Amino acid sequence: MFNIEFLQSQSNIISDFLNWAIENLGSLNFIIIIGGIFYFLSIKALLVNLSNKDYERSLLVVILLIIVFGGLVGFALEFK
């Protein structure tokens, strides 16, 4: 049903890009640049949800922010 080799190659492309970014930028710059892009978009979504008084989605966005930031830090420390 699913092409496993295609899924694994996509995973390798993302992992290779992140490894390249860490090697060329350094761990701290990697977290600031990649995390900053993600957080800018997430804060925009958070503000839109708060202005619409949709507090459940706002809480979900905050939880997603925490999880992604932890993952970026962990990934940067692992491949440093």
What confidence tens digit (pLDDT) does each residue in 5-61 have?
Answer: 655 566 677 778 878 888 888 878 877 888 888 888 888 888 998 999 989 988 998
Backbone conformation region of residue 39, classed left if phi is above 0, alpha if psi is from -120 to 50, else beta: alpha
**Residue at 8 is within a domain:** no
**Residue at 54 is within a domain:** yes
Domain count, the chain: 1
**Residue at 39 is within a domain:** yes
The single residue listed with the structure tokens 């008084």 is 53
**Residue at 1 is within a domain:** no
**Residue at 73 is within a domain:** yes
**Residue at 65 is within a domain:** yes
pTM of the shown model: 0.63
CA distance 56 to 50: 9
What confidence tens digit (pLDDT) does each residue in 53-65 have?
Answer: 989 988 998 898 8
**Residue at 44 is within a domain:** yes
**Residue at 7 is within a domain:** no
Q: Which helix (H) or strand (E) holds 54?
A: none
